Structure 1
Amino acid sequence: MTWPAMLPWNEIHARLPEIFPEGSANREHSIWEIAAKTIFVMLYAGAVEGAGRWIRPDQVTRMTEEQAGQTGEEARDAWAAVSVRPGKADVPGRWYAVNTRESIRDDTIRYALIQNGAVIERAGLATTSPAGRYALQGEFAALLAPDMDEVTFVAKAAAWREKHLNAGALARIAIVRKGAAGGGAFQLVTFPNGETRRMAAGPSADLSKAVIEGFAPRFLERPGVIALSESGNKVVARDDELAKAIGLTIPADKSLPDIVLVDLGPQHPLLIFVEVVHTDGPVNDARKTALLHIAEGAGFAPQHVAFVTAYLDRASQAFRKTVSGLAWGSYAWFASEPDKLVLFGARPQRIEGG
């Protein structure tokens, strides 16, 4: 067989964030050190699509730094044979403890690298079989060629994603990248009634635009924008006539959230308070209580008020940092997956599939 050229695991680690950019499914487990070392072991053992070689997760735990430095074909072939032999003999300097093999198998291989198209699984192998079952997808392995310059690598990584990731995954990556990058001096936001407003460009404006142009038409029957603010509590738009028509008094202080929407479709209008996490933080219990007081003062009963915290992506640090504080009875919405809405609700009567 032709053995694949070796790239040190730390250099593999450095390439993974470019291959799996922000927005990639289970990105955290696709780019962490364990993923890099798992990929290294597959290369080391020659487990690449078409080669007829496969590895088991426990082989990753048995690799050592000393062994990893022995990159000759004979050393690699010998290790690949020895590392699958049964036995409980200790391996001095092993990368990971024996009991981490399940985590490597599930968190890194199954739910990250396979999901993102980087690893393939051997077909027709019984679940209980001790034989190796995982290998690198061929074109993914080619991205790890040691003699590739950075410009070529970036271009090939982009081409690989376009070919091997599904349309939904590519769209999510594109949305997250656009939201992170921003662009221009201002952002033009189009309201449901066709009017436009300008906001200072930045992540907050991008997310506010996504809420008004993406969330509102998807989840509201007849959406309207009562108020829109941006970083620094600068009011971008206030529709006092619309607010007056539904009996809402808009405070002149900082008590309002980033966006106040209304749905005029139901018999009784629905008031929606939206916080954009780039500014004042999520809708937590204290924030929800304060906003309910504003709504109740305008004659809106709690059942006619909704609370939404908008994030760029559910894999983002912002969501992971704040999810534990989101108020029960509120929603989380992600611009990268605009058709989905997460409810932090009370216990359901029963669990339903689908």
Structure 2
Amino acid sequence: MTFRELPTLEQCAARLEAVFPRAAFDSTCSNPLAAAAAAAMIYVDAVVDDDTPSPDDVWVRPTTCLWLSDDVYVRADHDSRTAWRTAALGSNAKRKVVELQKSWGLDFNQRYGDNTRETLRDETFPLWLELGAARTRPGVTTTSPLPRWALARTFADLLNPQLTGDALDVAINAWRDARMTPGARMKAHVAQERRAQTHAVEVTLPNGVRRSLEPGAASLILKGVIEDWAPRRLVDPAVLTVSEPGAKIYVADAPLLQRLGMKIDVSTLLPDALLIDVGTDPAEVWMIEAVASDGPIDEPRRRELIDWAATQRIPPADCRFLTAFVSRNDGPAKRRLKDLAEGTYAWYLDEPQSELLWTKIADQSDPL
């Protein structure tokens, strides 16, 4: 049997972040503990077929990944890896690992404490399983003390230190296409596109007109709102204005604005995008804020927008409010979701099929 070439822990961490960017996926998929676990699984060759894993393959416990120290990891020869694996995966495993390392002249300095195993067992490994990176041992229950976790072979291939540059990017994208769900692929795609965004963002409006927006995450969010959210959510959407950095306001449909009797003043703090659903009666005016760093529709902002709408003779009942984020995992979304105004919606670029509504519950209890 031939063991795989060992990546460094730094390489493992970088590969995990490339496959599961933290802007889109839970950090337990790619944090230092996850990198140590992936390295340990490669070290003992806990790598199985993606589709037909066998109970007789090599499997690990979470503690196996915690015990592997740097001093052991540098012993990359076949005999050392086989001996350590035999000790770590059998009965009385910890005692045998201590004895083996003592025979090598090494102290037992495990990388993480045993109480860290719950993070791997309950978070990292289940997420890897869900995303296609790991497999569980057939016929072994979750409560069994037997080793039951391994990397999927096609995912382990991505940790090959010889795979670099464009070839690595191609391999990661091919793996995502083959193994991830459409929703997970969308999350990864959005995070990857955001990271690489250095040029103008091209957006196609509902009327077919194309418009270039400033580079950046906010423009990517607006592109998603206009091209994806609006067709899903609105009956007959039209984009009235798009605001950009530098007090620039793009008037997308001047004739419609004129028919509606609306006047746009660049000195007014307009929302990032102003849309109207002309397919409803009365027409609904949607005020959109794209939050790449800050600026959700909180209560003060909602009142400002309603006041502005009043100057345009738009009744409050016809106003709708949407705060759009990159991802639920993105920092601004985590910080600012709690501040959303009542009666407003939230939408995420990497989960375009869903939206959130923060609304008051109608009290159905009988009066005393």
Do both share a fold (TM > 0.5)? yes
Which runs of structure 2 are paired with 1:315-334 in the superposition (5 Å)? 315-334=329-348
Alignment-derived partner of residue 268 in structure 1: 282
Mean Cα deviation higher: 234-243 or 36-45: 234-243
Name stretches of at least 5 consecutive residues in structure 2 with no aligned partner.
50-55, 99-106
Structure-2 change in CA distance of 1:205 and 1:147 (3 Å) = closer
- For normalisation by structure 1, the TM-score amounts to 0.83
Structure-2 change in CA distance of 1:267 and 1:147 (3 Å) = closer
Number of corresponding residues: 347
Deviation at 1:140, TM superposition (A): 1.9
Q: Kindly indicate whether the alpha-carbon contact (under 8 Å) linking 1:246 and 1:269 is maintained by their aligned counterparts in 2.
A: no
Deviation at 1:188, TM superposition (A): 4.5
Alignment-derived partner of residue 53 in structure 2: none
Percent same amino acid among aligned pairs? 30
Structure-2 change in CA distance of 1:344 and 1:97 (3 Å) = farther
Name stretches of at least 5 consecutive residues in structure 1 with no aligned partner.
none
Mean Cα deviation higher: 203-212 or 147-156: 147-156
Aligned residue among 118, 122, 146 for 1:102: 118
Aligned residue among 193, 200, 203 for 1:178: 193
Q: Aligned partner of 2:220: which letter?
A: D
Distance 2:19 2:205 in 1: 36
- For normalisation by structure 2, the TM-score amounts to 0.81
Q: Aligned partner of 1:48: which letter?
A: V
Deviation track 1:184-218 (CA, whole Å, cap 9, x = no partner) reads 5x545433334444434444333323222222121
Alignment-derived partner of residue 78 in structure 1: 83
Distance 1:301 1:249 in 2: 16
Residue 8 (structure 2) pairs with residue 8 (structure 1): yes
Deviation track 1:153-184 (CA, whole Å, cap 9, x = no partner) reads 33333333332223443344334433443465
Which runs of structure 2 are paired with 1:34-49 in the superposition (5 Å)? 34-49=33-48
Q: Aligned partner of 2:60: which letter?
A: I
Alignment-derived partner of residue 126 in structure 1: 141
Distance 1:217 1:71 in 2: 55
Q: Aligned partner of 1:304: which letter?
A: D
Distance 1:213 1:72 in 2: 54
Distance 1:42 1:100 in 2: 16
Deviation track 1:22-41 (CA, whole Å, cap 9, x = no partner) reads 775x2522222111111111
Distance 1:4 1:222 in 2: 56
Deviation track 1:205-238 (CA, whole Å, cap 9, x = no partner) reads 3332322222212111122223221112211116
Partner secondary structure for residue 232 of structure 1: coil
Q: Aligned partner of 2:16: which letter?
A: L
Q: Aligned partner of 1:101: which letter?
A: R
Structure-2 change in CA distance of 1:348 and 1:103 (3 Å) = farther
Deviation at 1:273, TM superposition (A): 0.9
Q: Kindly indicate whether the alpha-carbon contact (under 8 Å) linking 2:88 and 2:94 is maintained by their aligned counterparts in 1.
A: no
Alignment-derived partner of residue 282 in structure 1: 296
Distance 2:23 2:94 in 1: 40
Structure-2 change in CA distance of 1:154 and 1:135 (3 Å) = same
RMSD of Structure 2 on Structure 1 (CA): 3.2
Q: Aligned partner of 1:15: which letter?
A: R
Q: Kindly indicate whether the alpha-carbon contact (under 8 Å) linking 2:293 and 2:332 is maintained by their aligned counterparts in 1.
A: no
